[in-house]
Amino acid sequence: MGRADCSCSSGGEYRQAAYEQVIVFLLDRPHAVAQPTEEQVSSLNNLAVRYDPCMIAASYKPKKKFMQLAIAEAKRARDRGDYAIGAVVTRVTDGREVVIASAGNRVKTSGSSIKHVELETLKYVSSGYGRYLTEFVLYTTHEPCAMCAGACVWARIGAVVYGVSQEDIATYGRKRGTEEYKWRACLIPCQLVFEKGNHAIPVIGGFLRDECKKLFGYRAR
């Protein structure tokens, strides 16, 4: 599980102000060698890590009902001829957690190899709630690939919960993948992407893993 250091303070506003001051400084003197103060440089160095603190506690406990909804979405995706992968995005506010969006994969049915359900769900939620999703949790039946994990970093998602890992996907693909359903994997752990992106959030892997593994062999009725 990832560790979240997410204490909120007015420091973020101060760091943003320092950032804007440096930008203005550069714009005002386009032909000069800009020399920001040590305080401004320090503020800029800390900006990426601390400016937009996450709002999901490190002690966050995932809920079975949300992953079960993702599993149901995955089955619906397979029923219509796609990979059995599903995702749910919840919002945590005032001690309550509610579903904001849920969907199944559309890579095959859309004809786009990058239309991963995690990415599409994040885009949908961001369109209604803004670019930063610090109080939202992504549940997904399969560990986010590097592309989707990167989207989580840029969207500043508050937490990620997944069922089977990229290693699980690769193992199944090698043994039982078909020409139609290859089950390719990107063997870069999402936790590594988050760490390299300075995005310290709760990450819970292997949640309802056995139920999610059954999706590999699920067949449309």
- Which residues are catalytic, by number? 118
CB neighbour burial string for 184-207, b if at least 16 within 10 angstroms, e if fewer: ebbebbbbebbeebebbbbbbbeb
Distances from the Cα of 117 to the Cα of 11, 94, 138, 158, angstroms: 35, 28, 11, 18
The number of beta carbons lying within 10 Å of the beta carbon of residue 31 is: 4
**CA–CA distance, 75 with 86 (Å, rounded to integer):** 8
Q: Which residues does 122 contact at the CB level (< 8 Å), separation at least 6?
A: 89, 133, 138, 148, 151, 152, 155, 157
